Chain A
Amino acid sequence: MANVDQLGAAVAANTVIGPRGPKPRKRFSRNNIFLYGTLIVVGMYYLLPLYVMIITSLKGMPEIRLGNVFGPPLEVTFEPWVKAWAEACTGLDCTGLSKGFWNSVQILIPSVVLSIAVASVNGYALSLWKFKGSEVFFTILIIGAFIPYQTMLYPIVIMLREIGLMGDLWGLVLVHTVFGMPILTLLFRNYFASVPEELFKAARVDGARFWQIYFQIMLPMSLPIFVVAIILQVTGIWNDFLFGVIYTKPETYPMTVQLNNIVNSVQGVKEYNVNMAATLLTGLVPLVIYFASGKLFVRGIAAGAVKG
């Protein structure tokens, strides 16, 4: 009580001198030092390997043999990059990563387009055009997300063989489309479920049918969630190794498989600089996609998270 009285007296006496306006903040408070210190340490932890990869890829082999892993290159050379792209050997084939890159592009584009097109219509139908058994259908689809891929590898080999797509790029496209379905459908369903129901009703009163509502009302509203889906699919499919190595053959190997073959070849000298350049080249596509659409990505994730 005494404290309150003192405070009251102080307030009465010092109305002008007392705290006023925005509360001042210390720049180097203990909290800030701790926060930024942690961030810097964690950032270094993740960036150091990247740094080593980049400088190693710019060094010649003699310089690498000196063993100074963290030192910057004395003589910058882009030869390892050129070699990784066009000349590195996998077995007898010495065309570098370029063939794998184009294979990957040919797998990536149809897989991303097809999986997102089907999943968005799935999500739209499952959230707004509920039919008898739609919840059961959705549950079954979601269960698919929890089954380990490895258990399905061989059954898929048989299925692809039976329909004549084993070893074909389109076989791999089909596999990627199917395996993207559970998570993408969930993503789109939750997004469309957050669209006000009255908007959908208004469109129905206005005489729009299933496809008109999808294309004219829902699609223009859902750019952020499409960006999320594109990022998920591009990174997932580009980085895929397991399906790529199993369902294709050497002429149609995606980039990741070829990278593995270059890096893990046991014959001859280990060309660390070429390996680093090849790895960086392979990782470039998801990185570019992520940096180009990072802001939209965050917005889309948040939009989908509001209601689910």
Chain B
Amino acid sequence: MSHSVEIKKLDLEFGPVKVLQNLDLNINEGEFLVLLGSSGCGKSTLLNCIAGLLEVTDGQIFIKGNNVTWAEPSERGIGMVFQSYALYPQMTVRGNLSFGLKNAKVPKAEIDKRVARAAEILQIEPLLDRKPGALSGGQRQRVAIGRALVRDVDVFLFDEPLSNLDAKLRVDLRVELKRLHNQLQNTMIYVTHDQVEAMTLADRIAIMKGGKIMQLSSPDEIYNKPRNLYVADFIGSPSMNFLEGHLEGGTFKVDDMVMPMDGYEFVEAQPSDRPVVIGIRPEHVVTGELVKNLPLQYQVDIDLVEPMGSDTLVYAKLGKHPFRIRMDGQAVVKAGQTLEIGIDTSRASLFDKATEDRL
């Protein structure tokens, strides 16, 4: 598979602040890549660098094999969709869609054809002669996507496009975006801080922190095999339970509890004994009848119960450590009870306490 976008040793500094540091990233043809991170991690900055809206301090950017490091945004073969839609308020929807094409001196007939096609794909044909002020949030964002669509670009860039929409619309448009990607098969780079958007849309997710990529893998791998503590903590809601303890001869020990790590896939074959952190997802804690199938059971004291309909979130104490458990929505549990749980260590994650890397 050829690379659609290649980023080589990219640096970006704002005065003394290093926003991006020696960043390498290859994005495949037709891939949906999500840049995910909390605010200030450099994800939007990276996207602006790819778009050519920010000048880089060092490094190179290639799009379709062309070095575009010094190219104008309009010469890079990219289309961009912004969080605030950024529609030109004084132009109609048609004017918004055709503005870029007029600047590129595309013939009138061709402009009409492309606008009609984009309008059809996005189902905004009845809105073409309205001004953005007369559109709803979802319609505006569709027009913004259309503005990228008409330009027939290789790469679509999305800068938190759904963050300004209400929850229901966000889910609808998310599904539509995924459908659009399946239909167009373009390369798409999508910035978000919403992990649900990242998990549902992405072919691969790049989790960023402090201007560096912490992990770049498929959503499945990010969820099941986070490469370090930061990724493990960031992905998943509610987030992972972490227990600090020791690894001794392939068994995790904390206080007087032991958890044999049979079935756990270690990164290196025989890790030596050392202080470690174990991460257990609340939804991977076994409760009810299934507990009997596991070799070891543990008792937890329930502090608080949050019923959410589809499932129930239980805040408990395992020994003296706070521990969250996600149970079935119909589970009957009350604060003050003790609960018997089992832990499937093959689905847990072990991290070196010193380096915070996965073992």
> Taking beta carbons and an 8 Å cutoff, which residues of A are in contact with B?
196, 198-199, 201-208, 212, 216-217, 220-221
* Residues of A with C-beta under 8 A to B52: 204
* Residues of A with C-beta under 8 A to B142: none
Minimum CB–CB distance for B69 against chain A, Å: 16
* Residues of A with C-beta under 8 A to B73: 201, 204-205, 207
* Residues of B with C-beta under 8 A to A202: 80, 82, 86-88, 144, 147
* Residues of B with C-beta under 8 A to A205: 51, 53, 73-74, 78-80, 100
Please state if B99 and A196 are interface contacts (CB–CB under 8 Å): no
Known A201-B53, A202-B147, A217-B88; contact A207-B82, beta-carbon cutoff 8 A: no
The distance in angstroms between the C-alpha atoms of A207 and B72, with both chains bound, is 8
The distance in angstroms between the C-alpha atoms of A48 and B103, with both chains bound, is 59
> Taking beta carbons and an 8 Å cutoff, which residues of B are in contact with A?
48, 51-53, 72-74, 78-80, 82-84, 86-90, 99-100, 103-104, 144, 147, 151, 159
Known A208-B99, A208-B103, A212-B103; contact A203-B88, beta-carbon cutoff 8 A: yes
Minimum CB–CB distance for A303 against chain B, Å: 13
B88 nearest in chain A by CB position: A217
Please state if B103 and A207 are interface contacts (CB–CB under 8 Å): yes
* Residues of B with C-beta under 8 A to A201: 48, 51, 53, 73, 80, 82, 86
22 examples of A-B residue contacts, CB within 8 angstroms: A196-B86, A198-B86, A199-B88, A201-B53, A201-B80, A202-B82, A203-B88, A203-B99, A204-B52, A204-B73, A205-B53, A205-B73, A205-B74, A205-B80, A206-B74, A206-B99, A207-B74, A208-B74, A208-B99, A212-B103, A220-B90, A221-B90
A202 nearest in chain B by CB position: B86
Minimum CB–CB distance for A214 against chain B, Å: 13
Minimum CB–CB distance for B149 against chain A, Å: 13
The distance in angstroms between the C-alpha atoms of A51 and B291, with both chains bound, is 96
Known: A205-B79, A207-B103, A208-B103. 6 other contacts (CB 8 A): A198-B83, A201-B82, A202-B147, A203-B88, A205-B73, A206-B99
Known A198-B84, A198-B86; contact A204-B99, beta-carbon cutoff 8 A: no
Pairs of residues from A and B, 8 with the lowest C-beta to C-beta distance, nearest first: A207-B74, A206-B100, A207-B103, A198-B86, A202-B86, A220-B90, A198-B82, A205-B73
B84 nearest in chain A by CB position: A198
Please state if B103 and A206 are interface contacts (CB–CB under 8 Å): yes
- Interface of chain A, main secondary structure: helix
The distance in angstroms between the C-alpha atoms of A93 and B269, with both chains bound, is 108
The distance in angstroms between the C-alpha atoms of A290 and B88, with both chains bound, is 30
Please state if B89 and A221 are interface contacts (CB–CB under 8 Å): yes
* Residues of A with C-beta under 8 A to B89: 221
The distance in angstroms between the C-alpha atoms of A201 and B45, with both chains bound, is 13
Minimum CB–CB distance for A204 against chain B, Å: 5
* Residues of A with C-beta under 8 A to B103: 206-208, 212
* Residues of B with C-beta under 8 A to A206: 74, 99-100, 103, 147, 151
Q: Which of A198, A199, A203 has the most CB of B within 10 A?
A: A198
Minimum CB–CB distance for A96 against chain B, Å: 46
* Residues of A with C-beta under 8 A to B78: 205
* Residues of A with C-beta under 8 A to B90: 220-221
* Residues of B with C-beta under 8 A to A199: 86, 88
* Residues of B with C-beta under 8 A to A204: 52-53, 72-74
* Residues of B with C-beta under 8 A to A212: 103
* Residues of B with C-beta under 8 A to A203: 88, 99
The distance in angstroms between the C-alpha atoms of A290 and B53, with both chains bound, is 41
Minimum CB–CB distance for A297 against chain B, Å: 21
* Residues of B with C-beta under 8 A to A198: 82-84, 86, 159
B90 nearest in chain A by CB position: A220
* Residues of A with C-beta under 8 A to B83: 198
* Residues of B with C-beta under 8 A to A196: 84, 86
